Amino acid sequence: MSTSVAPGVTVEVLLQALPYIERFRGAVVVVKLGGNAMVSEELAADFAADIVLLHRIGLRPVVVHGGGPQIEEWLERLGKDSTFIDGRRVTDAETLEVAQMVLMGKVNAELVTALNAFGPVALGLAGTDAHMLVAEPHDPELGYVGSITAVNPELIDRTLAMDLIPVIATIAVDASGQTYNVNADDAATEIATCLQADKLVFLSDVPGLLARVEDPESLIREISVSCIEDLIGDGTISGGMVPKMAGCAQAIGRGVGSVHLVDGRIPHVLLLELLTDAGVGTMVTAESS
Amino acid sequence: MSTSVAPGVTVEVLLQALPYIERFRGAVVVVKLGGNAMVSEELAADFAADIVLLHRIGLRPVVVHGGGPQIEEWLERLGKDSTFIDGRRVTDAETLEVAQMVLMGKVNAELVTALNAFGPVALGLAGTDAHMLVAEPHDPELGYVGSITAVNPELIDRTLAMDLIPVIATIAVDASGQTYNVNADDAATEIATCLQADKLVFLSDVPGLLARVEDPESLIREISVSCIEDLIGDGTISGGMVPKMAGCAQAIGRGVGSVHLVDGRIPHVLLLELLTDAGVGTMVTAESS
Amino acid sequence: MSTSVAPGVTVEVLLQALPYIERFRGAVVVVKLGGNAMVSEELAADFAADIVLLHRIGLRPVVVHGGGPQIEEWLERLGKDSTFIDGRRVTDAETLEVAQMVLMGKVNAELVTALNAFGPVALGLAGTDAHMLVAEPHDPELGYVGSITAVNPELIDRTLAMDLIPVIATIAVDASGQTYNVNADDAATEIATCLQADKLVFLSDVPGLLARVEDPESLIREISVSCIEDLIGDGTISGGMVPKMAGCAQAIGRGVGSVHLVDGRIPHVLLLELLTDAGVGTMVTAESS
Amino acid sequence: MSTSVAPGVTVEVLLQALPYIERFRGAVVVVKLGGNAMVSEELAADFAADIVLLHRIGLRPVVVHGGGPQIEEWLERLGKDSTFIDGRRVTDAETLEVAQMVLMGKVNAELVTALNAFGPVALGLAGTDAHMLVAEPHDPELGYVGSITAVNPELIDRTLAMDLIPVIATIAVDASGQTYNVNADDAATEIATCLQADKLVFLSDVPGLLARVEDPESLIREISVSCIEDLIGDGTISGGMVPKMAGCAQAIGRGVGSVHLVDGRIPHVLLLELLTDAGVGTMVTAESS
Amino acid sequence: MSTSVAPGVTVEVLLQALPYIERFRGAVVVVKLGGNAMVSEELAADFAADIVLLHRIGLRPVVVHGGGPQIEEWLERLGKDSTFIDGRRVTDAETLEVAQMVLMGKVNAELVTALNAFGPVALGLAGTDAHMLVAEPHDPELGYVGSITAVNPELIDRTLAMDLIPVIATIAVDASGQTYNVNADDAATEIATCLQADKLVFLSDVPGLLARVEDPESLIREISVSCIEDLIGDGTISGGMVPKMAGCAQAIGRGVGSVHLVDGRIPHVLLLELLTDAGVGTMVTAESS
Amino acid sequence: MSTSVAPGVTVEVLLQALPYIERFRGAVVVVKLGGNAMVSEELAADFAADIVLLHRIGLRPVVVHGGGPQIEEWLERLGKDSTFIDGRRVTDAETLEVAQMVLMGKVNAELVTALNAFGPVALGLAGTDAHMLVAEPHDPELGYVGSITAVNPELIDRTLAMDLIPVIATIAVDASGQTYNVNADDAATEIATCLQADKLVFLSDVPGLLARVEDPESLIREISVSCIEDLIGDGTISGGMVPKMAGCAQAIGRGVGSVHLVDGRIPHVLLLELLTDAGVGTMVTAESS
């Protein structure tokens, strides 16, 4: 994607983006980046460009990330096996140590570096900084896997006030100082709720909500909270999508403006979703528009 | 210009604009809009869109305008003839009254309204507000035509600090409260110098500096201050372009970053000049790059 | 009025003014200046001196003005006739254009210049600046005559915070950018209500509220809201004074401290009303004192 | 002085004061009040009214006071005799204790109370507060009489920023915490110099500088620094007036705008001197005007 | 108390103080210092050191003081007798004058000087400054003895915001400017209530609340509000302790965190009470812990 | 170290610390923590307590850390060998990746967590955040080992202004976004110089500067810059201590107040060095005191 564009087209495009720019000025957009969406270096660079562009035209992005595949890769390199219970890794002390190193010292660092390639715009944070994310054990069987019980937004607010982009690794802490690995989707939802974000975007490796799971053409482009309840009721939404969509509905109910499920494998999917009429993912809103 | 553009192209274009956005963040750009450049309503709407877009992506535009043709039209409607000396209208008390009404109550108001069509972004000012532009009589024969002797930038600074776009009608005032009509090119230059603007853009109805006056294809796209002096010396720059180009050179010498002469009759010429490589006008810089 | 006063008297007077100064420190006073009150240049200079003096001793004046007679004069000079419906001018596009020019480019400019003769104290504004006054059509038959639907006070607040006197021309705007001429009395009332002003003063060409319309000696110096209702009920207040006085009562009910009706033809009537016990007009208060 | 003044005269007077108000807006005026000028309760009330009025019209008065007669009275009531060397009281520990009590607990308190009768406008300070006035012993023979070596202006600046009038008792302190009685004229001069005051006014019980000491009609209304040197040279200024006038000249040389010597026994002398053309005292300026 | 301590012990002690420092960061502590607690110069120096140390480790002390014994001493030196009604001095004009001088010019000054021996940390205030303490006559028979009716906290807030320690002499004032001597215990309570202080500490010359008045070993170290009511009910608390303890209970009920009664004759009693587990006085809390 | 201390001793100690507290209020203290000084968990907890205590009594600590031993341990666990040239690890891409993970995700995280055990006081940063530490390759042979070329202090300043303790991992970045491992001693020196720190403390595993390398009793407690030059000249300072001490001298020359070399293996060595007279390490100053 680097073909030359005629100057006239450039101007045309910029002006078509202006209404979006007006609408989203100052909007807080929490973007959760899944580990699966960061596998290619090119996608990471695309993602960084998108986030910086959104920042430059007046939005206030907050990046939240996990790093499951990367943690797994390093556990393998260290010859350590993991057990999973209900899709959550059982996290003993050594696993937690590796998870922290990978999330804070690798994934977070790489994202911050990619963003800062455009100028000094990003600040890496973890939930341990000034006790931003507070957690308790999720389930004794899972070890150091935590559930978030509180978000202290001051550090995020200050980072935004400095006109910087916070990039948050999802390690949380309890009052005793014990750290926990927390689910990044949950962390992003809690942060978005606490900030009363205008938008919460999940970048993952699926296209969004499909009317028929097996049919990628059946993407539902927009859905209201009440409609989600109906589709769960009649079984159209099923399996792993039930908690996912219920979580989206709940975030809306707690004050988030809209939730977007988009496919992080599409180049520049963030810009396509937020600044064009392309409608590449699923948008969840309070009421059907 | 309202054909549809494919979403992928949109994304491509926005990303190509990003380096310009980075480079010009926070830059103060004084744009002088000639009365000739405002004759068509469509051009005025284009101009407003350009200014708002520049504002939204982080530049700080300051609009300075005259209104010669509009003043002339109203003087005619009132059946009043004007005399000109060296291209400057002889301004008696009645002419001054009409000039003020037209500049402040018509041209300025229309520009502010056109800009505010995108949201509450513009504030109309005149040099009389808080004595922003101070003048003395330019030449007794010309009546109430003034030369600017001082610019009080506080009101402009405050307007920019409010994240608003100042739109300035070029009526100035002396210590006794007598008002004067001042040349808008001069006013824009003085304001740009006082603000130490990054860019000063003149929108007029000529393509820029031509190597051969009769040949519109001979546009000089970039020229340094020393080169201007050479071209004035060897007669390439002649006639009315001599004071114009000497003024550009002087503005650079007094701290303005660059001066741009562009043709206001080209739609969206501001975006083309500032955000693309199109190079549609003449850019004057301290040193040839 | 320029006889010399003995220094001892000066001191005496200043000290007698001190309690008024104490009482009104920081008070927001919205002063509506009718077009009829600006006919003489001397009265305009007197008015400017009064406003600057009030500003200098700690009050925060906000000037709101119309300009009916001046608009009429220019329409005549342009040979344009106007129709009036219920005392409001039918305003077609050309009339609106003239009204804007006269209000913003002449009356407003003259007031700002008169005030700034004392130093850089005044800033000319119109309802179009940053969409300060929002309106909708008042009545389709009247054309571009608007009713105010919202006041955005931020620009006024900022102007006061800059220690400047806002001078507001009563042109309003709707969301589409269409401008309207609005009644200046209504605009002043809406602005005073929005600012929760301490005082709202109407300078017109009548002495105030008269107990007997034909008897200028029957001036009512102070009246409470409940008393106004009684006098409307028993017919003492009648004709054009009914909406006027009902408007005053409504302003008080919506939080304005007091409303004053004074005769702008009396030199320095503002100072006489606000800083002496002379009682030259009618003061409307919440409760009879 | 409480006769009624016609409202028209009031307005006239206020308008005549306006140019003075404009000229002195924001001006820092250090007023030194001698103990002799405070003997009558009526004069004290007059003084307080003057200071509050100056404050209300935009000046920033700073009051500095001594209290020689009051200290003397209390020493007498306690049956304690004092010795004087070169006009300065020899100050033993007991005398210092009494001086502090009288200056801080009586004179300062009475001034603060008199000023606050007009509203909460005054804050009593002493040089000991936050080590505002730093001193060293003036002369071993004089005991606890100090010479000021430094002024820490922060507390005065903060008091002015709170829009309060600082009233300063001239007790100073050294680094060890030992307090000293300091000459109030010197303290006022040092404070005015440190603040780079616009005016320094000495209220005493003499009319000002007289051309012929014995002739009160020979008051010199204005004198320049160079002229003072001449008059000292030719003996016109002699005796105790030599150090006094030399001190005035030095204050001007160190940046104070003008120094005024006025007779505190004249009612409202401050207003007469600063806000009228009466010229009741002697003004010392950098250059003869 | 100046024996050398081994460095290791120093470190140990500082670390043991850390939890107290954490707990009390930013806490407002109103300390009432009785005249009896200031009789020895050594105790005064100890007190100053304690207050500065508390300030330096992050608490915000506010010192309130009376000066009964010192006033008595000066009345005696002046040969003036006093009458007392119910433990309150009958205060005629002369007594008030002496009280003000002693409180503001001696006790307050000495405290400020003692505190400032550690650096410029203290600012002396009286209730007359900016009308901080407003009072009315307590009882016509007592003369100028006042009861506090309002506290204006702005001056205290500003002093704390300047990172200075306010030291307040308990002279109050009414709207007419008449001053009053007010009970320092009451003043401290009203100030603490108005500031919603975390702690209110009374330094006096008794050990605290004793279970058996005659037995100094029977000190009650901590007591809840409800318990106070019980002990008053069963007569354990009797005599002069009834109003004292009722006052403590009332302060807690109006929002003060805790009230401490400590013996000012014990060196460094403030530090012992607030920063160690020594429990040297009586702490009154909302609920028994 | 948890024996009980008598309350009287506590008070004694606190008061002895007061002069140090006064002297260091607001002082910026950059503390470089070597990887060797963090081997024991108890030492890490001690270190955290010391830093928080210094913060609480008014100093502004900035922690800078490396992590050589921890990096080595993880390289070993991954079965990766390292080469060293002149004591610096040759850093290939994989080594850099591990170094970042260990420094940012392990050592930094553990320090932040240890500090935050006392409350939300610490914020983890890396030189990559907002491009705080800018570097270039130190030596092509060493791979991704960088030399610092610039420090952008804004993020540190903001963190201090938020009253938080910055904890900085010494990973730097160049304009292209390439990261580098930088020497932590150098980073601490550059940061201290950029901040014009009052103190720069190196915690390592040696006692300080020894007059005779083999004799730990020959510790030099204080040394001036000129004295260092002499001792290098006469060979007393030799081997690895030459660049170390020259670096200290250079830091002083560039504006750091003093440099301290202390033994991180001594419990609470920071408090001993900064708040007692124990003199446990070597202090380098501009002039011998």
The tens-digit pLDDT sequence of chain C (289 residues) is 344 567 777 778 788 888 888 888 999 999 999 876 676 778 888 899 999 999 999 999 999 999 988 999 999 998 888 888 877 778 999 999 999 999 999 999 999 999 998 888 999 999 999 899 999 998 889 999 999 999 999 999 989 988 899 999 999 999 888 999 999 999 999 999 999 999 999 998 888 999 888 888 899 999 999 999 999 999 889 888 898 999 999 999 999 999 999 998 888 889 888 887 777 899 999 985 5
Inter-chain touch B101–C101, beta carbons under 8 Å: yes
Nearest Cα to Cα of residue F44 among F101, F116, F127: F116
pLDDT at residue D25 is higher than 70 = yes
Inter-chain touch F49–E15, beta carbons under 8 Å: yes
The answer to whether F104 faces chain A, any CB pair under 8 Å, is yes
What residues contact residue F62 under an 8 Å CB cut-off, 6+ apart?
A: F28, F29, F30, F31, F156, F160, F165, F166, F168, F191, F192, F195, F197
Task: List the alpha helices (DSSP H) in chain D.
Answer: 7-24, 41-56, 68-77, 93-102, 108-116, 154-161, 184-195, 225-233, 241-253, 269-275
Inter-chain touch B128–C116, beta carbons under 8 Å: yes
Portion of chain A with pLDDT greater than 90, in percent: 60
Other C-beta atoms lying within 10 Å of the C-beta of residue D287: 9
Highest mean pLDDT pick, B38-42, D241-245, F145-149: F145-149
pLDDT at residue E231 in the model: 93
Per-residue pLDDT of chain E (289 residues; tens, 9 = 90+): 344 567 777 788 888 888 888 888 999 999 999 876 676 778 888 899 999 999 999 999 999 999 988 999 999 998 988 888 877 778 999 999 999 999 999 999 999 999 998 888 999 999 999 899 999 998 889 999 999 999 999 999 989 988 899 999 999 999 888 999 999 999 999 999 999 999 999 998 888 999 888 888 899 999 999 999 999 999 889 888 898 999 999 999 999 999 999 998 888 889 988 887 777 899 999 985 5
- E277 in helix, strand or coil? coil
Q: Among partner residues A102, A112, A176, which is closest to F129 by beta-carbon distance?
A: A112
What residues contact residue A43 under an 8 Å CB cut-off, 6+ apart?
A: A37, A264, A265, A267
What is the mean pLDDT of the segment spanning D76-98?
A: 87
What is the mean pLDDT of the segment spanning D81-109?
A: 89
Q: Average model confidence (pLDDT) for chain F?
A: 89
Length of chain B: 289
**Which domains are assigned to chain B?**
26-204 (3.40.1160.10), 206-289 (no CATH)
The answer to whether E113 faces chain F, any CB pair under 8 Å, is no
- D259 in helix, strand or coil? strand
What is the mean pLDDT of the segment spanning F257-277?
A: 89
pLDDT at residue E5 in the model: 65
Q: Which of residues 174-193 of F touch A (CB under 8 A)?
A: 176-177, 179
Other C-beta atoms lying within 10 Å of the C-beta of residue E253: 11
Phi, psi of F151 (to 5 degrees): -120, 125
CB D80 within 8 A of CB D95: yes
pLDDT at residue A253 is higher than 80 = yes
The answer to whether F14 faces chain E, any CB pair under 8 Å, is yes
Q: Which of residues 210-239 of B touch A (CB under 8 A)?
A: none
pLDDT at residue F1 is higher than 60 = no
Per-residue DSSP letter, D155: H
CA-CA distance, E32 to A11, in Å (whole number)?
72
pLDDT at residue A247 is higher than 50 = yes
Q: Among partner residues A106, A126, A171, which is closest to F97 by beta-carbon distance?
A: A106
pLDDT at residue F40 is higher than 50 = yes
Inter-chain touch E18–F57, beta carbons under 8 Å: no
CA-CA distance, E38 to D16, in Å (whole number)?
57
What is the mean pLDDT of the segment spanning D195-211?
A: 92
Strands D28-33 and C282-285: unpaired
- Contacting chains of A (3 CB pairs or more, <8 Å) are B, F
* pTM for this predicted structure: 0.83
Q: Residue B80 corresponds to which tokens in the numbers above?
A: 């009043």
- H/E run at residue C157: helix C154-161
Inter-chain touch E272–F58, beta carbons under 8 Å: no
User: Is residue F254 very low, low, confident or very high in pLDDT (cuts 50, 70, 90)?
Assistant: very high
Phi, psi of B85 (to 5 degrees): -120, 120
Burial of residue B132 (number of CB atoms within 10 Å: 0-12, 13-18, 19+): buried
Calculate the alpha carbon distances from E40 to C59, E37, E61, E264, F15 in Å. Answer: 53, 8, 22, 11, 19
pLDDT in tens, A2-49: 445 677 777 888 888 888 888 889 999 999 998 766 767 788 888 999
What is the mean pLDDT of the segment spanning D212-234?
A: 90
User: Is residue B16 very low, low, confident or very high in pLDDT (cuts 50, 70, 90)?
Assistant: confident
User: For residues A89-112, b (16+ Cβ closer than 10 Å) or e, as one string?
Assistant: bebeeebbbbbbbbbbbbbbbbbb
CA-CA distance, F201 to F211, in Å (whole number)?
20
CB pairs under 8 A between A and B: 106
pLDDT in tens, D46-57: 899 999 999 999
Q: How far does D46 lie from chain E, in Å, by closest CA? A: 15
Per-residue DSSP letter, E210: B
Mutation to test the A interface, candidates F125, F128, F157, most A Cβ within 10 Å: F128
What is the mean pLDDT of the segment spanning D175-192?
A: 94
Strands A84-85 and A88-89: antiparallel
The lowest-confidence range among D112-121, D136-145, E239-248, F274-283 is: F274-283
What is the mean pLDDT of the segment spanning A215-240?
A: 90
The residues that bridge with C172 in the sheet, in sequence order, are: C180
Nearest Cα to Cα of residue A67 among A42, A89, A92: A89
Q: What is the ipTM of this complex?
A: 0.84
User: Is residue B4 very low, low, confident or very high in pLDDT (cuts 50, 70, 90)?
Assistant: low
CA-CA distance, D267 to D1, in Å (whole number)?
9
pLDDT at residue F289 is higher than 60 = no
Task: Considering only residues B111 and D44, tell me which one the structure prediction assigns the higher pLDDT.
Answer: B111
pLDDT at residue C188 in the model: 97
Inter-chain touch E5–F9, beta carbons under 8 Å: yes
pLDDT in tens, C146-192: 999 999 999 999 899 888 999 999 999 998 889 999 999 999 999 99
pLDDT at residue B5 in the model: 65
pLDDT at residue B132 is higher than 60 = yes
CA-CA distance, F185 to F204, in Å (whole number)?
10
Q: How far does D278 lie from chain C, in Å, by closest CA? A: 6
pLDDT in tens, C73-100: 999 998 888 888 877 778 999 999 999 9
pLDDT at residue A1 in the model: 36
Q: How far does F211 lie from chain E, in Å, by closest CA? A: 24
The residues that bridge with E219 in the sheet, in sequence order, are: E210
